[in-house]
Amino acid sequence: MCGIVGLINRNRPISIDDRSNVARVLEKLSYRGPDGAGIWDSGKVIFGHRRLSIVDLSSAGAQPFVDPDRKLSITFNGEIYNYLEIRQALLAKGYEFRSNSDTEVLLLAYDCYGMDFLSYLRGMFAFCLFDEIKGVALLSRDPMGEKPLYYYLNGDKLVFASECKAFHAFRDIELAIDEESVKAFLVLQYIPGTHTAYRHIQRIPPGVAIKIDLNNWNITQWKYWNFGEAISQSRSFDVDIDGMISRSVREKLIADVEVGLLLSGGIDSTLIAWYAKQENENVRAFSARFERTDLDELEYSSQVSAHLGLNQVVIDGGGLDCDVFDKVIFHADEFLGDPACIPTYLLAREISKHVKVVLSGEGADELFWGYDTYRYERWWHWLAWIRPLFRHSTVLKTLASTFESSPKIPAGMTRFFKLITDPYELGASRWTSVFSYNTLSRLFAHDLERSGSLYLAEMEEDVLRNINRSNWLENSLAIDLRHWLPNDLLIKVDRMTMAHSVEARAPFLDPELVQAATAMPVRQKMDFYRGKLILRKKIEDHFPETMGQVLANRKKHGFEVPIRDWLFVTLREQVEERLSQKAVKQSGFFDAEYVSQLWRSFCDAPDDSPLQRKIWLIFCFQSWYAVHKSKFGF
């Protein structure tokens, strides 16, 4: 796991200023790779790299990695889990290696297989590879989007980096905030698709490669992997989930440093712990202890650890203060309103004192339908016929917007009116959305009615485009795999763990396992009462009867966070300052009086009011805007 940056010029050679800009980025991103830094340039291309040493700790694994004989170079972030298997195949073909790194394997796989080499890779990765002989550069990202990769492209140059803040180092790049991204963020709590906080900066989608031909500046983009194809394939009940998870965990444990695991006692982490124990008798499990009993799961994680004989390390979750919040905003990099960023950041800070690598359970809920909202989506489908009757009603839209800003309307009623009047079909994302689009027309400082939301419309098109390739439920829930998972959850995990130089690996996101899960029949994943049926069955298979039943039937916990307490008590001074009419007018996006109205309503609202998430998103944006104005310290 590392940090990368680079620049490819169309016409002019790399200059002193270019080298200086790349060096500034590497200094700023030092937390992504404290074990080393390197810069390489040749002609019109320059690569920079920050190294977090995980595989081949020697200087032979340093990056950017260059093969002078083949005139190939690469700057690479991530891990290729099956690199030993690919290495053996290349050795059999006569290739020789000068390191034990997965980086060299990746580079020589390209030399051997050409562009098809991407189909050989199992891992999480983002890289830029330069073939000097062919005059071709290749940017690519892993199938599920675990590792980030952003780029700026115009007629003269391409700049890429692991984080959006890096583009502040390049003074000639215009970093205008994308209002469409702000709209989508306030609805979804993240930015969907290829879009970012900045109008001219794009993110490379998961499973996509971009080829730049420097000879004619021809840009080619293609999707080399698509999990969605499995949805339309024939169903099979005979899926070796045990074997797939076992192999994935085994590969994720390959490293030249110690690999630990996160253990909450929930279904996902408990299964990972069981498989990891079969591979490594001495694996350490990290469990968090929180002061609030409603957040603490130590009772269950300790039971699992004791039964498996794990070396359990209990760490204090820590507490939030103003300094921690501002660091989370800085490291989040873009608009990211997921409040679970806070405990993830605090947990990673403590884990970093023990290990560099941990296994985590990301993806299991999206693949095996673990969220309660997925069952709501099934029920909603039976009532969806009423939506077309109301979605265009001006009276109901006004009423829904009024309910959203009221401290007295029950949360359930607010949600119902939002469901039936929202203009966009967002699939399963409808249940986690924050602002309704109708309310945004009151929040923004100017009229939005005519413009609509381009990025929400793109999500709706994604839903409708795939509606005939699968049944309605699978298609609706797959929206979370295509948007929520890569653009919220995986960004959160990458940014908050890498803030402390910790690499998180997700066994459930193995491509073969993803394909198998998306092709499973509905009945293997969810009934009318609960989801993750097949994973619950594996828990019961692998643990003693009573214990297995208790663990398998536990209610999903997740990182539940006290947003109201944070806003109303812990961060109140910051909140009132950043939501003041002066601060809101300075950022220029929102109606200052309406923001003040929302804050007053929140202060009078009950603990479960949906107003807390609305205030949280506005507060996160205002805090991000302040860091943006400071150019993230560049």
For residue range 85-118, list pLDDT tens digits in order.
Answer: 999 999 999 999 999 999 999 999 999 999 999 9
CA distance to 269, 303, 310, 374, 494, per residue, from 306 (Å): 15, 5, 7, 33, 30
Residues of the chain within CATH 3.40.50.620 domain(s) are: 228-560
Q: What would be the CATH architecture of the domain defined by 228-560?
A: 3-Layer(aba) Sandwich (3.40)
Task: Return the beta strands (E) in 132-233 as ranges.
Answer: 136-141, 150-153, 157-161, 202-203, 208-213, 218-223
pLDDT computed for residue 600 by the predictor = 95
Mean pLDDT of 24-28: 98
Name the pLDDT band for 62 (thresholds 50, 70, 90): very high
Residues of the chain with CATH 3.60.20.10: 2-225
Measured between alpha carbons, how far is 123 from 21 in angstroms, rounded to an integer? 30
pLDDT at 453: 87
The pLDDT tens digits of the residues spanning 218-227 come to 999 999 998 6
pLDDT at position 364 is 95
- What percent of the chain is modeled with pLDDT above 70? 94
DSSP reduced 3-state for 160: strand
Average pLDDT of the chain? 91
pLDDT attached to residue 228: 59
Over residues 545-568, the mean pLDDT reads 84
Say if CB 587 and CB 629 are below 8 A apart.
no
Extended beta strands in 290-429, E state: 311-316, 357-359
pLDDT at 368 over 50: yes
**pLDDT (0 to 100) of residue 128:** 98
By C-alpha distance, which of 180, 223, 221, 227 is closest to 199?
180
Spell out the residues 6+ positions from residue 408 whose beta carbon is closer than 8 angstroms to its own: 605
Q: Is the dihedral of CA 419, 425, 431, 436 positive or negative?
A: negative
The answer to whether residue 448 scores a pLDDT higher than 80 is no
At 67-86, the pLDDT tens digits run: 999 999 999 999 999 999 99
Q: Residues 137, 128: contact at Cβ < 8 Å?
A: yes
In whole angstroms, what is the distance from residue 386 CA to residue 392 CA? 12
Q: Tell me the per-residue pLDDT of 303-334, one tens digit each, with 9 for 90 and over.
A: 999 999 999 999 886 789 999 999 999 999 99
Q: What is the mean pLDDT of residues 584-605?
A: 94
pLDDT of residue 234: 44
CA gap 70, 54 in Å, rounded: 26
Section 367-378 average pLDDT: 90
pLDDT value of position 230 = 47
Give the bridge partners for 141, in sequence order: 126
464-504, pLDDT tens digit by residue?
876 555 577 888 888 899 999 999 999 999 999 999 999 99
Whether the CA torsion 321, 26, 178, 427 is positive or negative: it is negative
Mean pLDDT of 168-186: 96
Q: Which CATH architecture has domain 2-225?
A: 4-Layer Sandwich (3.60)
Express each pLDDT in 492-536 by its tens digit: 999 999 999 999 999 999 999 998 998 888 888 998 889 999 999
Q: Which tens digits make up the pLDDT trace of 256-296?
A: 999 999 999 999 999 999 999 999 989 999 998 876 665 66
- Which tokens belong to 518? 């998306």
Q: What percent of the chain has pLDDT over 90?
A: 72
Q: What's the pLDDT at 238?
A: 60
pLDDT band at 232 (very low <50, low <70, confident <90, very high): very low
- Given a cut of 80, whether residue 449 has pLDDT beyond it is no
> Which phi and psi (to 5°) does residue 594 adopt?
-70, -35
